[in-house]
Every structure is written in C-alpha cells, then in structure tokens.
Amino acid sequence: MFVLSNLVYALAVITRILVELEIFAVILSAVFSWIAPGVYSSVRIFFQVLSDFIMKPLKKAFPGLVVGGVDLSPIIAVLILVFIDQFLITTLFDLARSLR
C-alpha cells in the first residue's frame, strides 16, 4: 500500500505547486494590468497566458465581476485556488498519510 500512498502524495505535491504557480500568475497579471495597461512584454504575456487558464472561464461564467471599473475576477480566482489548495490538496495529503 505504500506505493499507492507515495503516488497520491506525489500527485498532491505536484498539484500544490501548480496551484501556487497559478495564484502567482493571477496576482502578477493583475499587477501588470494596473501598472502599464497598454504595454506588452514577453514576461507579461507569459503570466497572462498562465492566468488565463482560470480567468477566462471565470469571466465567461460571471461577466458582471467589474464593479466601478475594477475587475474583481482576480480576487475570485485567488479565492477559488486557495479553496482548492486548502480543501482538495490537503485531502490528498491526508489520504496519502492514511494509506501508509
């Protein structure tokens, strides 16, 4: 059973890294849009593409997330990603621990 435990643990670690990278990309993409809205660099495009993974479906599902000219979708995206981290990934770690 330890092999299955190690597999679940490894999947949890990889998923946590990907979620943290996505949170970082969403935050940086939002900051870049505030600092220089019309300027595009390769770094900004890279983080924009990474953040679009969660931002495009979120904006499509909830088009009214712009309040007073401020787009609230990055905040909602970060909250969703934190929920995934705290609930689903922690559950995977607990499952891996219980399989030992």
Q: What's the pLDDT score for residue 43?
A: 87
CA atoms within 13 A on the CB side of 10: 6
| Local confidence band at 10 (pLDDT 50, 70, 90 cut-offs) | very high
pLDDT tens-digit map of 50-94: 999 999 999 999 888 888 888 899 999 999 999 999 999 999 999
Q: Where are the domains of the chain?
A: 2-98
Does residue 10 sit in helix, strand or coil? Answer: helix
Say what the pLDDT of residue 34 is: 85
Report CA 92 to chain centroid distance, whole Å.
17
The pLDDT tens digits of the residues spanning 30-49 come to 998 888 777 778 888 999 99
The Cα–Cα gap between 23 and 25 comes to 5
